[in-house]
Amino acid sequence: MAQPRPLGVIPLGDSAAYVEFSSHLDLEVNSVVQRLALAILKRKIAWIRDVVPALGGLALHFHLDHAELPAKPLEESLALVLENLKGLSSKQEPGRVIELPVCYEGEFALDLEEVAKKAGVPPADVTHRHVSGEYRVLMMGFSPGHAYMGGLDAKLAVPRRTSPRAIVPAGSVAIANEQTVVYPYAISGGWNVIGRTPMVLFDAARPRPSLLWPGDRVRFRAITREKFVEMAAAQ
Amino acid sequence: MSIKVLRPGLLTTIQDHGRHGFQRVGLCPGGAMDPVALALANALVGNPPDEAALEVTVIGPELLFERDTLVAVCGAEFDGFPHNRPVFAAAGTRFNVGRAARGARAYIAVAGGFAVEPVLGSRSTYLPGHFGGFQGRALKHGDVLPLRDSAAAKRFATLRKTHDGTVKWSVPPGTLPDREPILVHVIEGQHFASFDSNSQRAFFDTVWRVAPDSNRMGFRLSGPPLGRPQADEILSGPTCLGSVQVPPSGVPIALMADHQTTGGYPRIAEIASADVARLAQLAPGGKVHFAKCSLEIAGELRKHAREHIESALRGIAWEYHK
């Protein structure tokens, strides 16, 4: 496949630039976006405070009061992306591999039955398909530590719930469309909850506060309720 | 060596210039809603501009100073209260900040700053995550806020002898509205063209009101609902401080300090960075009017705002060293 090219650069006001590669989700494009984001981060450019890889492109947030901020940061951002695109290694997947333990049982799997019904497979098949996949963190957002992961079995691609839950418990593992997420905080949400992890997804007291980072590869491992309780207590 | 909270006010939190570098894991920078007022308040008490201060929202706290210190209040104005100047607070002074008469957010800076531990490089309170600032939350009755030492407090110890404990000079307020509706400059957002022509016009013709359910995450704007002829889902993408997004309800939301870092709603506009702090000074019910500007003009506005701060900082430094 030819290397993706940016569709253009979109100003997020005068504070940031969004270099868009695709207006729809394309895993190949996202992989390039992830590697680009890491390459630009590595440059430690003083006038760029945040590099945010998203589903279809990446945002560069400017340090507006920095002496080195160029006169035309939007144009400089695009130039920076094009320059790094050229030297981008075609090596696959820079991310780490993370394994997340998940209990797919009972009250943790709030929507498992419904997902199974919609997908036309038995509930055990839903969890089997979910643990069999390898996922990649395509983008993070919504709340700190909240990773949108691609790579879900097409058979499990069910739509979001018609009415969102007021509170989805922290650690809930959920699916919708062709993605899976883990909710780091108890928060309102509309994804279909099929299990729960005892791991703490985001803890500001850790030097690396987030368990998952953009570009990481993620696998899920089924655990029993006993194991869940034991691991949750150890966190 | 501390301040005791006798009454917390509506929403009083410790804020500095925010924690940067974590947007890629979904953590917004947060920090002061009006960083201009924060910088001025800090400079007035001899602190670096990005030191942590108390962010007061509409109704201020009542504080008891347990030692001599220097205090400054910038941003929103409260009746009968000395603003935009250093005030000497002797041990035992009670500081009763009432309801804002003008503006919505004030910053109470104390010489030396607050002795709370930075979390991920910032002392800002991040309420949704329950971390940073003072125990990760808004102040409560009975809290005792530890202070750091400061040499600056001694510099103005002579103010003790004046009848009101303050000086005759002040810095000009930077972000307070003279009158409403305030004018806020925006550039067109990525999805502006996908809104119908009535909505495009209405966005600029309407005097919007800040809705009551607005907060540090976002300001909801009351006015006519905005619509798109093809209400197709857009791919979730990054957002920014000052992005104005329009969910299916048609009610625009201006993203403020504690905003989500990505979003799947169309963005109709992006507020010029210099004007976000001015919008932050509107209380619920406050009126705002949007004017289209170019990216170049947004940059110019930013430059002017920075010149205003720098000249105020120079003036303060001169008063300190003369």
DSSP, residue by residue, B283-298: PTT-EEEEEE--HHHH
Contacts of B187 in chain A (CB under 8 A): 11, 13-14
For residue A91, what pLDDT is reported? Answer: 65
| Residue B26 falls inside a structural domain | yes
- The mean pLDDT of A16-20, rounded to a whole number, is 98
Q: What percent of chain A has pLDDT over 70?
A: 97
Task: Give residues with Cβ within 8 angstroms of A67, minimum separation 6.
Answer: none
For residue B153, what pLDDT is reported? Answer: 67
For residue B164, what pLDDT is reported? Answer: 75
Q: What is the CATH number of the domain that holds B193?
A: 2.40.100.10
Which residues make up the CATH 3.30.1360.40 domain(s) of chain A? 8-86
Task: Kindly determine whether residue B261 and residue A55, on different chains, have CB atoms separated by under 8 Å.
Answer: no
- The mean pLDDT of B238-243, rounded to a whole number, is 97
Pair (B80, B186) in one structural domain = no
Q: Hey, of A14, A35, A41, which one would you mutate to test binding to chain B, going by the most B CBs within 10 A of its CB?
A: A14
Contacts of B126 in chain A (CB under 8 A): 204
Task: Kindly determine whether residue B236 and residue A11, on different chains, have CB atoms separated by under 8 Å.
Answer: no
Determine phi and psi for A69, rounding to 5 degrees: -60, 120
Contacts of B26 in chain A (CB under 8 A): 140-147, 202, 210
- The mean pLDDT of A7-21, rounded to a whole number, is 97
Whether the per-residue pLDDT at B320 is higher than 90: the answer is no
CATH of A8-86, one of 1.10.3470.10, 3.40.50.970, 3.10.450.50, 3.30.1360.40: 3.30.1360.40
For residue A225, what pLDDT is reported? Answer: 96
**Between β-strands B13-15 and B53-57, what pairing exists: parallel, antiparallel or unpaired?**
antiparallel
Identity of the residue in A13, A49, A143 whose CB atom sits nearest the CB atom of B26: A143
For residue A66, what pLDDT is reported? Answer: 94
Task: Kindly determine whether residue A24 and residue B235, on different chains, have CB atoms separated by under 8 Å.
Answer: yes
Confidence of residue A57 (pLDDT cuts 50, 70, 90): very high
Q: What would the pLDDT profile of B87-125 be if each residue is shown by its tens digit?
A: 988 899 999 999 999 999 999 999 999 999 999 999 999
For residue B167, what pLDDT is reported? Answer: 83
Q: What would the pLDDT profile of A136-157 be if each residue is shown by its tens digit?
A: 999 999 999 999 999 999 999 9
Domain hosting B216: range is 182-303
Identity of the residue in B22, B237, B306 whose CB atom sits nearest the CB atom of A56: B237
Rounded to two decimals, the ipTM of the complex is 0.95
Task: Kindly determine whether residue B26 and residue A61, on different chains, have CB atoms separated by under 8 Å.
Answer: no
Pair (B207, B251) in one structural domain = yes
Task: Kindly determine whether residue B25 and residue A202, on different chains, have CB atoms separated by under 8 Å.
Answer: yes
B241 in A contact zone (CB under 8 Å): yes
For residue B150, what pLDDT is reported? Answer: 80
For residue A93, what pLDDT is reported? Answer: 60
Pair (B62, B123) in one structural domain = yes
- The mean pLDDT of B242-266, rounded to a whole number, is 96
Identity of the residue in A20, A57, A214 whose CB atom sits nearest the CB atom of B24: A214
Whether the per-residue pLDDT at B234 is higher than 80: the answer is yes
For residue B178, what pLDDT is reported? Answer: 82
Task: Kindly determine whether residue B238 and residue A16, on different chains, have CB atoms separated by under 8 Å.
Answer: yes
Whether the per-residue pLDDT at B60 is higher than 90: the answer is yes
Three-state secondary structure call for residue B117: coil
- The mean pLDDT of A39-55, rounded to a whole number, is 97
Residue of A nearest to B27 (CA): A144
Pair (B192, B156) in one structural domain = no
Sign, CA torsion B175/B226/B255/B214: positive
Pair (B89, B210) in one structural domain = no
Residue A146: is it exposed, middle or buried by C-beta count within 10 angstroms (0-12/13-18/19+)? buried
Q: What would the pLDDT profile of B2-29 be if each residue is shown by its tens digit?
A: 999 999 999 999 999 999 999 999 999 9
Contacts of B299 in chain A (CB under 8 A): 14
For tokens 């953590």, the residue is B27
Contacts of B263 in chain A (CB under 8 A): 141
| Residue B236 falls inside a structural domain | yes
Identity of the residue in B24, B120, B243 whose CB atom sits nearest the CB atom of A50: B24
| Residue B249 falls inside a structural domain | yes
Domain boundary among B122, B143, B173: B173
For residue A3, what pLDDT is reported? Answer: 82
Whether the per-residue pLDDT at B154 is higher than 80: the answer is no
DSSP, residue by residue, B204-250: HH--EEE-TT--SSEEEEESSPP--SS------EE--TTEEE--TT-
DSSP, residue by residue, B249-307: T---EEE-TT--SEE-S-EEEEE-HHHHHHHTTPPTT-EEEEEE--HHHHHHHHHHHHH
Kindly give the residue spans of alpha helices, DSSP state H, lying in chain A.
Answer: 27-42, 73-86, 112-119, 123-132, 225-234
Pair (B146, B233) in one structural domain = no
For residue A1, what pLDDT is reported? Answer: 56
Domain boundary among B125, B151, B173: B173
- The mean pLDDT of B291-296, rounded to a whole number, is 97
Contacts of B235 in chain A (CB under 8 A): 22-25, 55-56
Q: What percent of chain B has pLDDT over 90?
A: 84
- The mean pLDDT of A170-177, rounded to a whole number, is 96
Q: What is the pTM of this model?
A: 0.95
B214 in A contact zone (CB under 8 Å): no
Closest C-alpha to A208, from B24, B135, B92, B306: B24
Topology given in CATH for the domain delimited by A97-234 = Cyclophilin (2.40.100)
CB pairs under 8 A between A and B: 142
Whether the per-residue pLDDT at B166 is higher than 90: the answer is no
Spatial contact of B97 and B53, defined as CB atoms under 8 Å apart: no
Q: What percent of chain B has pLDDT over 70?
A: 97
Pair (B31, B148) in one structural domain = yes
Pair (B131, B225) in one structural domain = no
Identity of the residue in B20, B29, B270 whose CB atom sits nearest the CB atom of A13: B270
Contacts of B260 in chain A (CB under 8 A): 141-143
Whether the per-residue pLDDT at B265 is higher than 60: the answer is yes
Pair (B19, B90) in one structural domain = yes
Count how many domains chain B has.
2
Pair (B112, B227) in one structural domain = no
Q: What would the pLDDT profile of A184-228 be if each residue is shown by its tens digit?
A: 999 999 999 999 999 999 999 999 999 999 999 999 999 999 999
B191 in A contact zone (CB under 8 Å): no
For residue B156, what pLDDT is reported? Answer: 67
For residue A27, what pLDDT is reported? Answer: 92
Pair (B130, B217) in one structural domain = no
For residue B82, what pLDDT is reported? Answer: 87
Task: Kindly determine whether residue A12 and residue B239, on different chains, have CB atoms separated by under 8 Å.
Answer: yes
For residue B174, what pLDDT is reported? Answer: 83
Instruction: Mark which residues 44-83 of B lie under 8 Å from A by CB.
Output: none
- The mean pLDDT of B139-153, rounded to a whole number, is 90
Question: Which of the residue ranges A40-54, A82-96, B112-126, B169-183 would you say has the lowest mean pLDDT?
Answer: A82-96
| Residue B238 falls inside a structural domain | yes
Domain boundary among B116, B142, B173: B173
Pair (B49, B160) in one structural domain = yes
The minimum CA-CA distance between B161 and chain A, rounded to whole Å, is 39
Task: Kindly determine whether residue B237 and residue A148, on different chains, have CB atoms separated by under 8 Å.
Answer: no
Residue of A nearest to B132 (CA): A204
Task: Kindly determine whether residue A13 and residue B298, on different chains, have CB atoms separated by under 8 Å.
Answer: yes
**Listing from the earlier edge strand, what are the strands of the sheet with B69-78?**
B13-15, B53-57, B100-110, B69-78, B87-89
